[in-house]
Amino acid sequence: MAADSEPESEVFEITDFTTASEWERFISKVEEVLNDWKLIGVSSGKPLEKGIYTTGTWEEKSDEISFADFKFSVTHHYLVQEPSDKDGKEELAEDALPLPMQDLLCMNNDFPPRAHCLVRWYGLREFVVIAPAANNEAVVSESKCNLLLSSISIALGNTGCQVPLFVQIHQKWRRMYVGECQGPGVRTDFEMVHLRKVPSQYTHLSGLLEIFKTKIGCPLTPLPPVSMAIRLTYVLQDWQQYFWPQQPPDIDALVGGEVGGLEFGKLPFGACEDPISELHLATTWPHLAEGIIVDNDVYSDLDPMQAPQWSVRVRKADNPQCLLGDFLTEFFKLCRRKESTDEILGRSAFEEEGKEVADITHALSKLTEPAPVPIHKLSVTNMVHSARKKIRKHRGVDESPLNNDVLNTILLFLFPDAADKLADGFESRANTSAGNNPPPENEDYNLFSQFKSAPSDSLTYKLALCLCMINFYHGGVKGVAHLWQEFVLEMRYRWENNYLIPGLANGSPDLRCCLLHQKLQMLNCCIERKKARDEGKRGSVSDRSPGASGDGAKGAEHSADNPDKEKEFGKSWESWSDSEDEFFECLSDTEDLKGNGQENGKKGGAKEGNKEPVNLKPEGRLHPHGKLMLLHPGEPLYVPITQEPAPMTEDLLEEQSEVLAKLGTSAEGAHLRARMQSACLLSDMESFKAANPGCCLEDFVRWYSPRDYIEEEVVDEKGNKIIKGELSARMKIPSNMWVEAWETAKPIPARRQKRLFDDTREAEKVLHYLAVQKSADLARHLLPCIIHAAVLKVKDEEALEDISSVKKIIKQIISHSSKVLRFPNPEDKKLEEIIAQIMSVEAIIARARSLKAKFGVEKCENEEEKEDLQRFVNCLLEQPEVSVVGAGRGPAGSIIHKLFVNAQRLTESSDEVSVVPPLEEELRRSGCAEERRQGVQSEFPPPTGREVILRSAVPRPAPYSKALPQRMYSVLTREDFRLAGAFSADTTFF
């Protein structure tokens, strides 16, 4: 073993001291990023325009590098500019200062309202920041800070990059940066001081000037002039109450039921609190020479009324309480509730009274009793009474979610035809109330088809608004469950008593609307069919005489003379019994047997050319066709009374399509599918046979599908031209469904056929569907209606204010909502986004009204000044900061001045001891509080922020060095104090 290990111990190892260290690798990575972003070489650009930092577009690029295992993010911030023409400028590049150094002295973009902090402090258009990648990490120790600063200095020197490079040090909330910018023979160091406690000499201009001059250490005896820009910011927080125009809703009146019915059809709007929390007035002296202004510890010339520039920004209240937003949010919360109606109300919601339950032995008596259906007065009080008794059974009267007054008011609003009227008067109005829609060309009205909600005048829409109101003001989810139960009871009452539901369009369910609206329309169709059937029963009992059945021979003549009358007669018998196998006439079975025998004879006759006479009595004729004649008997062809196709809601259509799809693609499945789809065809054939005895399939096809009957001119044996017709090729296919259906069809008029649309079954299905809806399901169904109503409300309110930015947001909301609500079960997150957009629009409009009231726009009598104020208010809403035309002497400036004066007087007259702000404490300590409170200080509070920019071009470090830009920015607020200096030095002549 020892012999084996000896060669290994003699291996000669070479240590390569040229291998890069972690520090060198880090510098290399920084240089690589700068190369990738093409920040190498001379930077070129145009002189900065005034205000470009605010109006221009800022972009950023990011990358990630690491120093050993410590990760840094590198971000390049830059102002997007058009590429400049480099021709003719290359010669100046050697002597010209780097662009960032020129920007230090530029005065066009001081105090930008919205920009990166380094842009505000140094006025740079482009820079790179290296910061710890993790938010909770920081470079705190001095040695690490110096190491990073050395790294960026080496990287800038190696690459020739002229873009300033900054390193973020200390905790991120302090926003502390150190950096460097290098050019040919010049270097600028960016330094920063951040303090919580303010030294007394920093609170005034003279102290800051002294510090600036000491720092640059200019060796010249006549010091170069120092240019100054000063901004004082005053904050107005104490808005007087009468400036806020929004009146909160009278909740007591709503709870007490004193509100009118129309209030339930309107959504509230506006902020309950002032959405403008503060007004910031910035008074700026943009260009002052040293010595013009005196501002020291005992006296100040900085009078805000004399400032040449005023600019205003408003601070918006964080999430102001807005009525419409609260309504939408609370209603949306219902979508997440899990309880059923029974669980919410603490009982079986639709159970019968004890007496009725006990009397179950007589449950079938209604089927055998011949008594007519009683028609009671439709009274809101009666409707409420039955449900109230059920609730009282399980809890005290005072515990009911909705009191009678509120419930009556809502039901009268939903069902305006349900007042105490006689049944005949009610019926006449019920017929006219359905389908009463505004013109469809109205863009706002047609929003329902985009949102899949319901028309704004429909019962569903009104119900959604009432439930939203109930949920917010009258008991929350319990009130919603109570109202829904009453609504379902009303639907059943109307079905059982043949009362049409108001506020719904006539006809089949509109698939453009929400499913709940379709269900209500379906129920209305059922009521309409049932009502027609019951009226037909009553008419047949009163009008028919013993000899009426013998008038069949006159049927054709009667129909030809008065087709409308025949239509009415047919329609009165048109519909169908309460069960699928029951018929109205006692002799129906006998007639069926007779019809079957005649049908068989007819079939044989048809095959033999219909030579035998047919003795079948025609039934169910609507009117003669007018043009067509039966082929073989040669009699006029009559259009039969047919059953209308069954109306369908979208869930029924989906179920039907699933059933048909499950039949598969086999021949048997295809045949069964065709049989299922031909129910309506079979019904029409039977009606046609009953109305046209002796007809054949060709007659039916000529009326029902003319394109499947082909006619040609042929020459007969005698040489005469005659027209001969035959069925199309598809009708001659073996086992054709039309032929099979025709052979199966019996001559049965529509009134005696099995119903295609069983209104009794469909109505019970709809009523059951409504009864089992939970509060969450109901909210999901009606949320599109609520969003629809909210959008209409916002549009109406915006029309009064005319804010262009709001118009754009409303269009975005409509577009977004159309995409989200068009499909069933939209995601909660997307719905929340829509609600948040609507709330933001409401807040903007509320802010506009608040500012209008504060600036007295409506009270201004001078039209020109009124327009200027209106424009000023709109700019405040859309821009981060707005310049005041005429500063303190303009119309807006004088109003702002009055606001501050009134607020100061209110503060001075108040008996309460005000809390002294930190800045004022510092001023008191410096011994200048009395002087600063004199004169104008009584009209304006102490400034909340003091910003000063000092600039100069000074040769450093030696008198013979090149004159280079020097800049120092100072900001003093109540929270902290910051000095940000950019000091340039000549690296060639030093």
Q: For residue 957, is the peptide bond before it cis, meaning its omega torsion is within 30 degrees of 0?
A: yes
* pLDDT of 813 higher than 50: yes
* pLDDT of 20 higher than 60: yes
| Arithmetic mean of pLDDT, 266-280 | 84
% of the chain residues with pLDDT over 90:
13
pLDDT band at 69 (very low <50, low <70, confident <90, very high): confident
The token duo for 204 is: 């005034």
205 in the same domain as 101:
yes
What pLDDT score was predicted for residue 989?
74
Q: Classify residue 58: in a domain, yes or no.
A: yes
Q: Classify residue 70: in a domain, yes or no.
A: yes
Q: Classify residue 199: in a domain, yes or no.
A: yes
Q: Tell me how many helices (H) and strands (E) the chain has.
A: 35, 17
| Arithmetic mean of pLDDT, 677-699 | 82
**Which sign, positive or negative, has the C-alpha torsion 432, 434, 439, 442?**
positive
* pLDDT of 886 higher than 60: yes
* pLDDT of 199 higher than 60: yes
- Alpha-carbon span 17 to 131, nearest angstrom: 30
What are 448-502's pLDDT values in tens digits? 888 888 888 888 888 988 888 888 887 788 888 888 888 999 889 888 888 888 8
Q: Which of 110-114, 290-294, 345-349 has the lowest mean pLDDT?
A: 345-349
pLDDT band at 347 (very low <50, low <70, confident <90, very high): low
pLDDT band at 73 (very low <50, low <70, confident <90, very high): very high
968 in the same domain as 897:
no
240 in the same domain as 203:
no
231 in the same domain as 109:
no
The token duo for 968 is: 């120092």
Beta-carbon contacts of 973 under 8 Å, excluding residues fewer than 6 positions away, are 919, 944, 945, 946
DSSP codes, 77-123: EEE--PPP--TTTTTTTTTSPPHHHHHHH--TTSS-SSS-HHHHHH-
* The total number of structural domains that make up the chain: 3
* pLDDT of 74 higher than 90: yes
What pLDDT score was predicted for residue 602?
38
- Residue 809 or 676, more confident: 809
- Alpha-carbon span 758 to 765, nearest angstrom: 11
Q: Classify residue 54: in a domain, yes or no.
A: yes
- Alpha-carbon span 84 to 808, nearest angstrom: 34
232 in the same domain as 210:
no
What pLDDT score was predicted for residue 979?
93
| Arithmetic mean of pLDDT, 85-95 | 49
229 in the same domain as 199:
no
Q: Classify residue 344: in a domain, yes or no.
A: no
pLDDT band at 264 (very low <50, low <70, confident <90, very high): low
- Residue 649 or 84, more confident: 649
What pLDDT score was predicted for residue 281?
92
Alpha helices, DSSP H, located in 642-735: 650-662, 667-677, 679-691, 697-704
Phi, psi (degrees; rounded to nearest 5) at 229? -130, 130
What pLDDT score was predicted for residue 671?
61
User: Pick from 294, 313, 233, 203: which is nearest to 940 by CA?
Assistant: 233
Q: Classify residue 326: in a domain, yes or no.
A: no
What pLDDT score was predicted for residue 124?
92
DSSP code at position 402:
S
Exposure b/e, 367-377, CB count within 10 A at least 16 = b: eeeeeeeeeee
Assess contact for 459 and 503: CB atoms under 8 A. Answer: yes
The token duo for 494 is: 């109307």
pLDDT band at 703 (very low <50, low <70, confident <90, very high): confident
Length of the chain counted residue by residue: 990
Amino acid letter at 301?
D
Assess contact for 345 and 485: CB atoms under 8 A. Answer: yes
Which of the listed residues 737, 756, 775 is the one where a domain comes to its end? 756
pLDDT band at 94 (very low <50, low <70, confident <90, very high): low
Amino acid letter at 637?
L
Instruction: Give the pairing type, strands 945-955 and 882-884.
Output: unpaired
750 in the same domain as 833:
no
291 in the same domain as 165:
no
What pLDDT score was predicted for residue 854?
82
What are 231-247's pLDDT values in tens digits? 999 998 876 544 555 55
Beta-carbon contacts of 58 under 8 Å, excluding residues fewer than 6 positions away, are 77, 78, 79, 80, 115, 116
Q: What dihedral do alpha carbons 167, 170, 171, 175 form, nearest 10°?
A: -50
| Arithmetic mean of pLDDT, 426-435 | 42
What pLDDT score was predicted for residue 18?
66
Measure Cα distances from 199 to 347, 644, 916 in Å: 73, 92, 18
694 in the same domain as 832:
no
DSSP codes, 909-955: H--SPPPPPHHHHHHHHTT-HHHHTSGGGGTSPPPSEEEEEEEEEEE
Give me the residue label for tokens 């990358």.
63
Mean pLDDT of the chain: 75
What are 740-776's pLDDT values in tens digits? 788 778 888 877 777 777 788 888 988 998 888 888 8
871 in the same domain as 824:
yes
What pLDDT score was predicted for residue 182?
92
What are 761-770's pLDDT values in tens digits? 888 988 998 8
What pLDDT score was predicted for residue 745?
83
* pLDDT of 552 higher than 70: no
pLDDT band at 178 (very low <50, low <70, confident <90, very high): very high
275 in the same domain as 161:
no
pLDDT band at 408 (very low <50, low <70, confident <90, very high): confident
| Arithmetic mean of pLDDT, 710-725 | 73
200 in the same domain as 230:
no
Neighbours of 912 (CB within 10 A): 6
Phi, psi (degrees; rounded to nearest 5) at 709? -125, 110
Q: Classify residue 592: in a domain, yes or no.
A: no
Alpha helices, DSSP H, located in 822-862: 828-854
Measure Cα distances from 560 to 443, 544, 548, 625 in Å: 46, 21, 18, 10
What are 610-636's pLDDT values in tens digits? 333 445 778 778 888 777 878 777 788
Instruction: Give the pairing type, strands 126-132 and 165-169.
Output: parallel
Domain that holds residue 981: 22-82+97-218+956-986
What pLDDT score was predicted for residue 539?
60
Q: Which of 401-410, 600-609, 714-723, 816-825 has the lowest mean pLDDT?
A: 600-609
Q: Classify residue 762: in a domain, yes or no.
A: no
- Alpha-carbon span 795 to 789, nearest angstrom: 10
